[in-house]
């Protein structure tokens, strides 16, 4: 009986070519596993394609709700954004994919897991750190790094290889954007984006929405509610998190929200340029931030910003299954106890404009914040506060003046 390998399968040309390659070079029984994180129509016809390509079986694992509840929401609650722009769409999906690959490998008694990530990207790190953390005994095969036996260097090479092995599927050799899609976002790399000097061809590129210029000329109001940092409704309609993200994607896409053009620093040391569409995610993150402004105290907010950056780095670098991620997430979750309330905003040509925030746990006091004198605040108290708060500055200035006089 042949040993089994589980292949992370998307149905694209790369992973299709890997099926006969694994059989030819390792004599494995290939079990394909596609993880549904909300990539939509990309899943159509996958089983037939996998079997025609030589796989003995295909698993399609639906993890949309798990992805949203257990991987997206911790990042939203943390407020994690990588390098001030990237909302971690691909990064968040990789650990749940690795987890499911390991589960299928255990079920099938497979000896290896194979992925089609290149040797230049971040995904090889994310997949492999996840697999190592969850199944250190399982072998990992990364064809693109095995240049002695993986000799294909182009789409044309892969199509020719497939045809030689009796796989005649309707793949095209035409160049196109390299994309990764899930419920949270879609990323675009390649073509004119290879040169940061080029403006993106948004008419050709965008999938989830329109550019702000082509958005409606009239804004649209949206109301959201949260309970303990988790979104619970949109415009009065109660929904689970995956349904809320789907709804916000439609609203955000319509109004040109969440289009980001970034040159980011990859884990492997190089810079890469890409365009991300995250319409619903951008709205959700902003709404959550608006509510936190109202209910979190200053010291917690300051520390949480540091933790947000740390959490973003952890997720981006593929270190989800680590004690550090668990510890930072525990801190974040402790800050969410009172992040409950309602947020209203207007979507207009790429902008999310505040229109009112309320919470039963609001720390905002109108009597304190207004210019009228209330019972809790005596203006004279500021005298002593400023004297003590500014004492180090005053002492330093006096010492410098004394030194200057003694010269």
What separation in angstroms does the CA of 369 have from each of 88, 236, 255, 307, 372?
A: 36, 30, 34, 28, 8
DSSP sequence for 273-336: EEEEE-HHHHHHHHHHHHHHHHHS-HHHHHHHHHHHHHHHHHHHTT--SSHHHHHHHHHHHHHT
Q: Which residues are catalytic?
A: 14, 94, 123, 178
User: Would you say how long the chain is, in residues?
Assistant: 407
Q: Which three-class secondary structure state does DSSP give residue 391?
A: helix
Question: Side by side, which strands form the sheet with 178-181?
Answer: 178-181, 186-189, 271-277, 259-265
Q: Scan for tokens 């691909």, then name that residue.
A: 90
* C-beta separation of 355 from 346 below 8 A: yes
Q: Which of 175, 170, 172, 179 is nearest to 205 (CA)?
A: 179
Query: Residues near 103 by Cβ (< 8 Å), separated by ≥ 6?
Result: 61
Residues β-bridged to residue 33: 8, 59
């Amino acid at each position: 009986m042949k040993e089994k390998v589980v292949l992370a399968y998307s149905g694209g040309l790369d992973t299709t070519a890997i099926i006969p390659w694994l059989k030819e070079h390792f004599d494995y029984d290939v079990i394909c596993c596609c993880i549904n994180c909300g990539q939509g129509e990309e899943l159509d016809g996958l089983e037939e394609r996998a079997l025609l390509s030589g796989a003995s079986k295909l698993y399609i694992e639906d993890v949309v709700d798990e992805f949203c509840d257990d991987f997206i929401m911790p990042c939203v609650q943390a407020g994690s954004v990588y390098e001030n722009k990237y909302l971690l769409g691909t990064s968040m999906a990789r650990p749940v994919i690795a987890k499911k690959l390991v589960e299928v490998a255990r079920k099938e008694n497979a000896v290896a897991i194979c992925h089609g990530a290149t040797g230049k990207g971040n995904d090889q790190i994310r997949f492999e750190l996840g697999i190592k953390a969850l199944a250190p005994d399982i072998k990992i095969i990364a064809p693109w790094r095995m240049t002695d036996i993986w000799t294909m260097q182009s789409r044309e090479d892969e199509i020719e290889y497939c045809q030689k092995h009796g796989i005649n599927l309707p793949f095209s050799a035409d160049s196109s954007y390299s994309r990764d899609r899930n419920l949270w976002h879609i990323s675009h790399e390649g073509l004119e984006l290879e040169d940061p000097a080029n403006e993106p061809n948004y008419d050709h590129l965008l999938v989830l929405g329109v550019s702000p210029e082509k958005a409606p000329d009239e804004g649209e109001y949206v109301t959201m509610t949260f309970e303990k940092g988790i979104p619970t409704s949109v415009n009065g309609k109660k929904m689970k998190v995956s349904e809320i993200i789907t709804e916000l994607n439609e609203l955000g896409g319509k109004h040109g929200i969440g289009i980001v053009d970034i040159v980011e620093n990859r884990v492997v040391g190089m810079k890469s340029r890409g365009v991300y569409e995250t319409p619903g995610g951008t709205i959700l993150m902003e709404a959550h931030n608006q509510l936190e402004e109202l209910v979190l105290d200053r010291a917690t907010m300051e520390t949480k910003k540091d933790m947000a950056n740390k959490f973003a780095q952890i997720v981006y670098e593929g270190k989800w299954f680590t004690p550090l991620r668990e510890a930072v997430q525990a801190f974040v979750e402790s800050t969410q106890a009172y992040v409950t309330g309602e947020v209203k905003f207007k979507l207009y040509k790429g902008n999310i404009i505040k229109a009112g925030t309320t919470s039963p746990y609001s720390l905002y006091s109108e009597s304190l914040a207004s210019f009228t004198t209330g019972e809790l605040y005596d203006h004279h108290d500021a005298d002593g506060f400023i004297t003590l708060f500014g004492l180090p500055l005053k002492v330093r200035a006096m010492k410098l003046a004394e030194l200057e006089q003694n010269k």
